[in-house]
Amino acid sequence: MGPVETDAATLLESVDGTLIAVGDVVTDHLLRAGRDPDVALVDERTKRRDVDEAIRERVAADPDLEATNPPAEISADAVRTLLEALAREEPTTVLVDGEEDLLALPAIVAAPEGASVVYGQPDEGMVHVRVTAEAKAEMRTLLDRFDGDTERFWRLLEGTSGSD
């Protein structure tokens, strides 16, 4: 969905707004390059294995929020928590019980234009998606193809129904 970069410092040169990191290793790279993500979504795993203890300590030892999101799904709990994290003034780490991978998609839709969403591409690097109207539209099209209650998903993501 965007260019792949292997060097966090180089990637950060093109980030000038809200920064959302999806994944423990990505978050760790950004932190070690000197930039706290505004929102970090982590699950203490990489490539279906536990991250090493040093990474876990840096990125997930003291999360600000927690969410449950089963593998291969986008749960209502995860969407609500993502929206809460985006609304905060301070950098926020969300520890996901389950899997955070697919949360890059609603993050692109929910983030303000000009934001950056960075997620890991295993064995290749970090994918940087600049949030634009076009990127949001592309994610909407992709998300509309998912199984499940997409109407409820959009109401939740757009904040038009607090009860879902």
Q: Does 50 map to a domain?
A: yes
Instruction: Give the domain extent around 86.
Output: 4-157
Which pLDDT value is given to residue 156?
84
Q: What is the mean pLDDT of residues 117-124?
A: 93
- Residue positions forming the annotated binding site for GTP: 24-26, 43, 100, 123
- Single pTM value for the model: 0.92
Q: Where are the beta strands (DSSP E) in 2-149?
A: 4-5, 19-22, 39-42, 45-46, 49-50, 65-69, 92-98, 116-121, 125-130
47 pLDDT tier (thresholds 50, 70, 90): confident
Q: What is the mean pLDDT of residues 107-116?
A: 96
Q: Does 162 map to a domain?
A: no
Residue of 152, 117, 164, 159 lying closest to 138 (CA atoms) = 117
- Residue positions forming the annotated binding site: 24-26, 43, 100, 123
Q: Does 141 map to a domain?
A: yes
Q: What is the average pLDDT value for the chain, to the nearest integer? A: 92
pLDDT of 162 strictly over 60: no
Give the C-alpha distances (Å, rounded to integers) separating 129 from 50, 68, 132, 134, 151: 26, 24, 9, 11, 25
Q: Does 164 map to a domain?
A: no
Which pLDDT value is given to residue 101?
92
Q: What is the mean pLDDT of residues 89-118?
A: 96
Number of domains in the chain: 1
